[in-house]
Amino acid sequence: MSVVKINVLTVPAEQRETLEQRFASRAGAVESSDGFEWFELLRPVEGTDQYLVYTRWRDEASFQAWMEGPMKASHQGQADGGDRPKPASSSAAVWTFEVVQQAAPKSE
Ligand code: HEM
């Protein structure tokens, strides 16, 4: 079964719009990666103030390959400071899950 990788972003309230705009402008950054299955940017409403970047992959190897290649290109500059704009998030942590069971609506 698939593997779920969630990047948990802490985002100060005044940076939320910036974060969402940056994600919107990177739409398409991950779709064509081998083994990529799903992506959602989840905005917190209740119970937490952290954004979740939900991604699902065919297997761990597909995720690792994306991290080593396309991800590095699409995340350039967020960690290295330099001249690039400051990250909207103040911290990030990755959670890993295995999909145990899943369901989708029946197509009739
Ligand atoms: C689980 C997979 C992912 C990991 C491990 C990851 C890693 C990160 C990290 C560490 C940051 C924060 C950088 C910092 O604060 O210095 C970040 C921010 C960001 N990532 Fe990802 N990312 C993932 C998925 C994605 C995907 C699928 C997209 C695009 C569709 C994306 C686009 C962005 C953007 C636009 C930011 C915002 C930069 C900001 O804070 O202004 N990420 N990511």
User: What are the tens digits of pLDDT across the range 72-91?
Assistant: 888 875 555 556 788 999 99
Q: How far is the CA of 42 from the centre of ligand 1 (A)?
A: 13
Q: For residue 55, what are the CA distances in angstroms to 83, 84, 88, 106, 107?
A: 29, 25, 20, 23, 24
Distance CA 39, CA 57 (A): 9
For residue 83, the model assigns a pLDDT of 67
Going by their DSSP bridges, the two strands 91-98 and 36-42 should be labelled as unpaired
Q: Is 39 in the pocket of ligand 1 (CB under 6 A)?
A: yes
- Is the Cβ atom of 75 under 6 angstroms away from ligand 1? yes
Query: What are 27-74's pLDDT values in tens digits?
Result: 888 999 999 999 999 999 999 999 999 999 999 999 999 999 888 888
pLDDT score at 85: 81
Question: Which atom, in ligand 1's list, is nearest to the CA of 5?
Answer: 1
Q: What is the pTM of this model?
A: 0.89
| C-beta separation of 21 from 70 below 8 A | no
